[in-house]
A and B are shown apart, each in its own frame.
Chain A
Amino acid sequence: MRRSLPLLTVLLFGYAFLYGPILSLIIYSFNESRLVTVWGGWSTKWYGELLQNEQILAAAWLSIKIAFISASLAVVLGVMASMALIKFKRFKGRTSLRLMLAAPLVMPEVIIGLSLLLLFVSMEEVFGWPEGRGQTTIILAHMTFATAYVTVVVTSRLAHFDFSLEEAAMDLGAKPIKVFFTITLPLIAPALLAGWLLAFTLSLDDLVVASFVSGPGATTLPMVVYSSVRLGVSPEINALATIIVLLVSVAVLIAGIVMFRQEKQRQRELN
């Protein structure tokens, strides 16, 4: 026990570093004072102001809409890509597919944003589509990088997948599509949920790519937050941050419990 004391200290310090700033935001969101660092007593007035800020509400709604659509489509593409990579070990273009799905994970956002904008501008010149930039172009952009993340999550799940279950169903006469929807899909559902949540939050959170590919008509939540942070700190942002942290924690907690239970069940089945 004494030997693990340094490790415990490291963990405590590390978690304090990770959670300190978030905790300070939550506490100061209940601050009465307009000055962000001066404590003026407890109050929920910034939550009230937040709910009346139409610009923030409209941006939040747009962001949620974009995140929902792009995450759902990214899951479809990501599952296809993972199935292709796991099921077929050798095919033409395997290496290029793997690289194209790995690169967005590390590619600086400024490059993704700029390159996609230039693509959209050229596409509009040649095909007349997408007309201008806004919601559609942001969804296309978010789908593309989210697909890479979904593929990582789903591939790691499929790597441990027992494909003899699929074969058994096929031997009993089920068609490939039916096998996928009745056997494979339910079994990898937790990974799909995790991938979807990841894609959703990535889209909801993205400032840089969205700034490049959006037009004057479409302002997402991070864009509003960024401009208000740049103009000076506004206490409403603390309230907004607290709400986001709360929602995300609940979602991750539920996902964690689901995965934990499944893991336990799997281990029980193995024994």
Chain B
Amino acid sequence: MIFKETATPTSKARQNWHLWKSSFGKKSLIGIPWLWMAIFFLLPFLFILKISLSEAALLQPPYLPFIREVEDGLVTLVLNFSNYMLIFEDPLYWKALLNSIEIAAIATLLTLMLGYPMAYAIAKAPAAWRLPLLMLIILPFWTSFLIRVYAWIGILKNNGLLNQALMGMGIIDQPLEILYTQAAVYIGLVYTYLPFMILPLYATLIRMDNTLLEAAADLGCPPWKQFLTVTLPLSMPGVIAGSMLVFIPVMGEFVIPDLLGGPNTLMIGKLMWTEFFNNKDWPVASALAAVLLLVLIIPFVLWQHFEQRQQAMEEKS
């Protein structure tokens, strides 16, 4: 009886209606977020490209349109590459770019050196401790980033807490100059980006098969060698993911070099900010953004490649 009923034309129509509805549901489920991100995330990069090719002007908005009347009635497309030429000719810009790469690379290395042992220690902690220990890593990330950077000003100042403590203990008799130097920038960067390094590292370390270590131990491998030949290579996906999560955003960092670094700390994100807000030169700021984007595509693709491989591995197991 029941089977017969499903074969009647009316229920067939209902089935079709359901099919249509579910495919419509599927389309909107995929389509709405896709369209949103395409319009508000992807499309804007085309505008960066567009403005970077236009000329700055004392207008509102402060640039000349592409297609405009050059002389009476003569409408032409004016592409202006001078913003890019300026970046490659003026040492200020390409030095800022090289400096950003250097600072981001060193900061990533320092974060890794502090983050790896911490992630390792949390992964090796008793199971009941792990969640609270991880929460303690994430907690500062939830509190205001700006205020955490600001806290370091009070610590690193010439008459700040660090110098007061060191002088009080008699270790130094002259205050160390740390604030407004490169060192302060590194401290700030490592401090704020540490969770981004620890979390992916922890995720790979906790998933690791401990029997491999036991096997190595059974074969007479000392602990340090176990670490170097088993743990470290197996945690490479975490090392790479963490490094990319730190390196890419640090390249464009603005707040930390601005508040903790001196006038000599030249980074491309800070320069973009200055060109945009102080010099009101939108086209040059856009050209800088375009160059920065171009530089960051390589590490981004690398990161995505490793993420996808890890996901595929997880789905297999």
Q: Which residues does A use to contact B, with CB under 8 Å?
A: 3-4, 7-8, 10-11, 14-15, 17-22, 24-25, 28, 36-37, 77-78, 80-81, 83-84, 87-88, 91, 93, 96-97, 99-112, 114-116, 118-119, 121-122, 140-141, 143-144, 147, 151, 176, 197-198, 201, 204-205, 207-208, 211-212, 222, 225-226, 229-230, 233, 237, 240-241, 244-245, 248-249, 251-252, 256, 260, 263
Q: Which 10 A-B pairs have the closest CB atoms?
A: A108-B252, A115-B44, A21-B151, A81-B33, A118-B47, A7-B121, A100-B37, A106-B248, A119-B44, A241-B147
Given A11-B121, A21-B152, A176-B21, output 20 extra A-B contacts at Cβ < 8 Å.
Answer: A10-B121, A14-B114, A24-B155, A80-B32, A84-B33, A88-B30, A91-B26, A97-B30, A97-B33, A99-B304, A102-B307, A110-B252, A110-B273, A118-B282, A143-B40, A176-B25, A197-B142, A198-B142, A207-B145, A237-B147
Q: Are A4 and B40 in contact, CB atoms less than 8 angstroms apart?
A: no
Q: Is B94 an interface residue (CB 8 A)?
A: no
How far in angstroms is the closest Cβ of chain B from A109? 7
How far apart sit A201 and B120, CA to CA, in the bound complex (Å)? 28
Q: How far does the Cβ of B3 sit from chain A's closest Cβ, in whole Å?
A: 15
Let me know if A7 and B148 touch, CB within 8 A: no
Cα–Cα, bound, A249→B138 (Å): 11
Binds A, one of B82-90, B157-165, B204-212: B157-165
Which A residues are in CB contact (< 8 Å) with B155? 20-21, 24
Give Cα A11 to B115, complex, Å. 10
- In the bound assembly, the distance between CA atoms of A204 and B144 in angstroms comes to 8
Which residues of A sit under 8 angstroms from B61, Cβ to Cβ?
121
**0 or 1 for each of B112-141: is its CB under 8 Å from A? (1 = yes):** 001001101110110000011101111110
- Chain B's interface size range is 35 or more
Bound CA span A222–B154, Å: 18
* Chain B min CB distance to A173 (Å): 11
Residues of B within 8 A of A (CB): 21-22, 25-26, 29-30, 32-34, 36-38, 40-45, 47-48, 50-51, 61, 114, 117-118, 120-122, 124-125, 131-133, 135-140, 142-148, 150-155, 157, 159-161, 164, 191, 194, 223, 244-245, 248-249, 251-255, 259, 269, 272-273, 276-277, 282, 285-286, 289, 292-293, 296, 300, 303-304, 307
